[in-house]
Structure 1
Amino acid sequence: MQKPISKIVIVGGGAAGWITAGLLAAHHNADKGQLAPSPKLDITLIESPDVATIGVGEGTWPSMRSTLEKIGINETQFLLHCDASFKQGSKFINWCTEATHNPLQSPASYLHPFSLPAGQPQFDISNYWLPHHEQVAFAAAVSNQEAIAKASLAPKLGSTKQYGFINNYGYHLDAGKFSELLREHCTGKLGVNHIRDHVDDIHLAELGDIESVQCRSKGLINGDLFIDCSGVKSLLLGGALNVPFICQKQVLFNDCALAVQVPYDNDDTPIASNTHSTALDNGWVWDIGLPTRRGVGHVYSSDHQSDDQALEQLITYLTPSIGDKASDINPRKLSIAPGYRASCWHKNCVAIGMASGFIEPLEASALALIEWLASQVAEQLPANRQVMDTISTRVNKQFEQHWQQIIEFLKLHYVLSERQSDYWQDHRHETSSSDELRHKLALWRHHVPSVADINHRNPLFPAASYQYVLYGMRPNYTAMPAQLKPSLKRQAQQLFNENQQRTMQLAKALPSNRDLLQQLASHPFPLI
């Protein structure tokens, strides 16, 4: 129990395994980006040679910039190697109704940007927008990112230092290439041991901890702490340790996806600055713009339509952009088991990524959860087994809170919709929503979403995210306040005016996504 935690075994690669390995090594074994002479941790990652990463195109949050910087990866190298582009938020198309007449009263699309509304967190401007909801969309009034993203502009200049920004941003990336880059960096620069082998068995110690894993070729591999990144199989946490899975299909119905890579018509096609999420009769389509192609996928509920019907919907979606080629697509089917494990850390095992849970990628929370949990393990690494349970208890508590908020926030998108198919009406049925969400929706009829509505620290989605979705879909949802202080009205008006001026300035100054990415090959971002 007093023996120091020094040997970490990670089972599974992909983004989950290699981000975890990178953050652990960078936090404990590196000195100013270089491997220390006497590493504290022996980190071994075991990766099956038969499991390929799904390279359909993934979206990240702005937190990925900090993660990559901690690991020590150069941003220019990352962008070029991973066929990556800039993401400034998510655009939701046709989520409100099937037919649109007045684009402000019943908006065909709205943006959930990565920037906070003007004035936040010190000053909440949303109350002062409400009287003007018929004249200007919420995101356009309080953030310049709606106009910048609509024009496919970049969030920074070529002279902006790496990982710095003018507008807050994350990335769109090729997941397969991303895993390759992380693997090369972790093994070449951070001293992570890499074993390509199958894990055939897991051996438990007398008190229930994992003692070792049995590899087909390498034999027994012992460890002090085991990280389960084995995907939906959850070989260690769900399999050997039998931690139960909490299904959420009764709340979020989508359990399938058809994913396909779509080429551009020409090399000059603008690269979208946000993920496009387009609502369909029984699900929705993601559309992610990378420099060389798009990653497109139809997420749907098998209880509401067949695979053939889903394919037909995907072909219909793609036809306007690629014509007759849409009929020739051969998408890959992905199965989704919506839900999460009752705990992510049990005994001496932590599950990260799909081994701990997965849900439809509506707000691209998967990689953000990987980053958060891998950071928690790296920053709170127990000194020995004796204190591990204390640390795991608090990590598990926040893990559950994060999952509850993710489910609530994604559900919000559905319950606000006025689309009329059975799928959408089933989503709005009160039996599929939590009491907590219903109470908040009743509250927001009279009060704007605020930090007081979020009952735990460091939430994944701040109050501003709820405002963007609520007022993007239902601009007139909240009753206008009876009285607003004149001094605060003037402050709000000044912020509205400054946002408008800033929008016009940036629209002239910022390059397009494609132009900036093309410049990087010869003019990398400055390091300082």
Structure 2
Amino acid sequence: MKINKIAIVGGGTAGWLVANHLGKALKGDKSASITLIESLDIPTIGVGEGTVPMMRDTLQHFGISEAEFISRCDATFKQSIKFENWLDKDRHGDNNFYHHLFDYPFPMGEDLTNYWLNKVATSPYSQTVSFQEAVCENNLAPKHITDPEYAGQTTYAYHLDAKKFAKLLAENATQNFDVSHVICNVTDVQLNKAGGIRSLITDNFGELEFDFYIDCSGFSSYLLGNKLGVKFIDQSSKLLIDRAITVQVPTNGQESLKPYTRAVAHKAGWIWDIPLPHRRGVGFVYASSYMSYEEALQKLSHYVGPDIESLTTREIPMQVGYRERFWQDNCVAIGLSQGFVEPLEATAILVTDFCAQHLAERFPRDREVLADLAKRFNDNVSYAWSKVIDFVQLHYYLSDRVDSAFWQDVKNEQMLSEDLRNKLLRWKYFSPKSTDFTSKYEVFDIENYLYVLYGMKFLTRPQQLNSVEEDRMAEIEAKVKQHAEYLSAELTEQRELIDKIKQYGLTAI
């Protein structure tokens, strides 16, 4: 039986990313139709979102102009996550920090990690292996106004307004990929004899029947979890963060725009701070077992300042974990309906984009291939989720903070997966290598681990260098520093470039 009629249940960033990926993949196939069904009664969660560099490739793949995206979505450039106070203040000083940069830490193609380990006290790891930290600390943009769209002097992603982003994606999907947009509430589901979904019952259009269903309904997981009964695997014993209080903080539009997300640790979690042109998206992320809502709100107020009294705050409970399966019969869950961990490292949009692309690469056009593709998808996505949890856990486990029960408890080695425990043991004697990451479904790879490990002062026994190696690597380090100084002098402050792009645009590739 052919699969021609496809329904996406739920809009927002997840639903419209799926619509664009599938629309692009099936463009020109006259027998295929895609309908996105969206309820206006369900609010979106985003208060300003962070992305990773993969989003540049995605937007370019969709045919979206970078200049239009920046203007329409209040986007700013993101080149790093700056982790502040994740280490003990007495040992490392007040306001200690490190950067998880987006540039690869292999300047001139050579890994300087062992060279840095032999001289670890002289400078931070990120300054030795990358010129991008200097760009970030000077609040500079990653590109010139003359650089083509999606090209830059450094690797970058974006901060963006999630609601405006979903609107832009919706326009692109409906206008360029012929995706139909239906506004209604899905009130029930009819199942078929095989245990899949036969049809949706809606308030405005009655019964709507499709061949394949994509669940982008958010935390409710209305199709896969609620109606098909796929269990949720709770991971709260591994990741203790389960709440966030969010607020949008207006700015005067004149401040210097930081080209990174701030992640500021506190006694029971951390604070995100995302700069957009006219506001900051701030979230106080915490573990409710270690801090009450009242204390969390008080600490958020202290961070934001007295203006918070006139602003609207919102508490978001977090279901930490993921579904036992993500694809069952003719239904796939993508986005929050699939799973969620705390927003450290911008995992939500990253995993959504990854899974939407994975689905679109081999979307089934015949029921005969459903079982094979479902198994492949479930295996790969389950692996990806397990590695996301490993990477987020790593940040807490490596911290040497002991100033609260939270920071003491998150360093319990038994909370780690066996694979992560083995890697950490190996990395005591050998720095990470690409062979430690053997699957293309590793959402975070060697470069991510290197920045976090050595930003958090992880100790690896250095391998001895001969004089020739040391001289060659010292020369590379000097070139990195020289290029950092060059970019610091040549690149434009971020807000200035954003304003120029809105006025003049960028050169299309």
TM-score normalised by length of structure 2: 0.97
Query: 1:150: which partner in 2?
Result: 137
Q: Deviations over 1:51-108 (max 9, x none)?
A: 12234110001111111111121111111111110000101000011445558xxx81
Match runs of 1:113-124 below 5 Å: 113-119=101-107, 123-124=110-111
Query: 2:343: which partner in 1?
Result: 361
Query: 2:406: which partner in 1?
Result: 423
> In structure 2, how many angstroms separate the alpha carbons of the residues matched to 1:468 and 1:111?
7
Match runs of 1:425-444 below 5 Å: 425-444=408-427
Conserved? CA contact 2:84–2:97, under 8 Å: yes
Distance apart, 1:406 and its partner CA: 0.7
> In structure 2, how many angstroms separate the alpha carbons of the residues matched to 1:518 and 1:399?
39
1:523 to 490, 493, 504: 504
Are residue 469 (structure 1) and residue 452 (structure 2) matched? yes
What letter corresponds to residue 430 of structure 2 in structure 1?
Answer: H
Distance apart, 1:491 and its partner CA: 3.4
What letter corresponds to residue 9 of structure 2 in structure 1?
Answer: V
Match runs of 1:175-254 below 5 Å: 175-254=162-241
1:27 to 21, 25, 28: 25
> In structure 2, how many angstroms separate the alpha carbons of the residues matched to 1:455 and 1:407?
17
Query: 2:388: which partner in 1?
Result: 406
Query: 1:339: which partner in 2?
Result: 321
- SS of the equivalent of 1:279 reads strand
What letter corresponds to residue 401 of structure 2 in structure 1?
Answer: R
> In structure 1, how many angstroms separate the alpha carbons of the residues matched to 2:8 and 2:198?
13
What letter corresponds to residue 255 of structure 1 in structure 2?
Answer: D
- SS of the equivalent of 1:521 reads helix
Distance apart, 1:260 and its partner CA: 0.3
Are residue 330 (structure 1) and residue 312 (structure 2) matched? yes
Conserved? CA contact 1:454–1:463, under 8 Å: yes
More off after superposition, 189-198 vs 349-358: 189-198
> In structure 2, how many angstroms separate the alpha carbons of the residues matched to 1:396 and 1:149?
38
Conserved? CA contact 2:384–2:441, under 8 Å: no
CA 1:108 to 1:60, structure 2 compared with 1: closer, same or farther past 3 Å? same
Query: 2:439: which partner in 1?
Result: 456
Query: 2:98: which partner in 1?
Result: 110
Query: 1:85: which partner in 2?
Result: 76
Query: 1:295: which partner in 2?
Result: 281
Q: Give structure 2 stretches of 5+ with no counterpart.
A: none
Match runs of 1:50-61 below 5 Å: 50-61=41-52
Aligned residues: 508
Conserved? CA contact 1:100–1:108, under 8 Å: no
User: Runs ≥4 in structure 1, deviation > 3 angstroms?
Assistant: 98-103, 326-330, 485-488
Are residue 500 (structure 1) and residue 481 (structure 2) matched? yes
Conserved? CA contact 1:118–1:499, under 8 Å: no
> In structure 2, how many angstroms separate the alpha carbons of the residues matched to 1:490 and 1:461?
32
Distance apart, 1:455 and its partner CA: 4.1
Query: 1:135: which partner in 2?
Result: 122
Conserved? CA contact 1:76–1:520, under 8 Å: yes
- SS of the equivalent of 1:441 reads helix
- SS of the equivalent of 1:400 reads helix
Query: 1:64: which partner in 2?
Result: 55
Query: 2:67: which partner in 1?
Result: 76
Q: Deviations over 1:339-365 (max 9, x none)?
A: 001121111111000000011000001
Match runs of 1:386-397 below 5 Å: 386-397=368-379
Q: Give structure 1 stretches of 5+ with no counterpart.
A: 30-35
> In structure 1, how many angstroms separate the alpha carbons of the residues matched to 2:423 and 2:127?
25
- Sequence identity (%): 39
> In structure 1, how many angstroms separate the alpha carbons of the residues matched to 2:30 and 2:503?
36
Query: 1:308: which partner in 2?
Result: 294
More off after superposition, 444-453 vs 194-203: 444-453
- SS of the equivalent of 1:363 reads helix
Q: Deviations over 1:361-410 (max 9, x none)?
A: 00001111111111111111123111121112111111011111110111
Conserved? CA contact 2:242–2:318, under 8 Å: yes
Distance apart, 1:485 and its partner CA: 3.9
Distance apart, 1:327 and its partner CA: 4.5
Q: Deviations over 1:166-187 (max 9, x none)?
A: 1111100011111111112222
Distance apart, 1:278 and its partner CA: 0.4
Distance apart, 1:494 and its partner CA: 2.8
Conserved? CA contact 1:28–1:40, under 8 Å: no
Conserved? CA contact 1:55–1:177, under 8 Å: no
Conserved? CA contact 1:58–1:172, under 8 Å: yes
2:255 to 263, 269, 278: 269
Conserved? CA contact 1:401–1:456, under 8 Å: no
CA 1:502 to 1:471, structure 2 compared with 1: closer, same or farther past 3 Å? same
CA 1:141 to 1:492, structure 2 compared with 1: closer, same or farther past 3 Å? same
> In structure 1, how many angstroms separate the alpha carbons of the residues matched to 2:250 and 2:311?
11
Query: 1:284: which partner in 2?
Result: 270
Conserved? CA contact 2:107–2:130, under 8 Å: no
> In structure 1, how many angstroms separate the alpha carbons of the residues matched to 2:113 and 2:107?
10
Distance apart, 1:451 and its partner CA: 2.0
Query: 2:465: which partner in 1?
Result: 484
Conserved? CA contact 2:79–2:142, under 8 Å: yes
Conserved? CA contact 2:115–2:470, under 8 Å: yes
What letter corresponds to residue 157 of structure 1 in structure 2?
Answer: H
> In structure 1, how many angstroms separate the alpha carbons of the residues matched to 2:3 and 2:49?
34
Query: 1:14: which partner in 2?
Result: 12
Conserved? CA contact 1:449–1:464, under 8 Å: no
1:385 to 367, 378, 385: 367
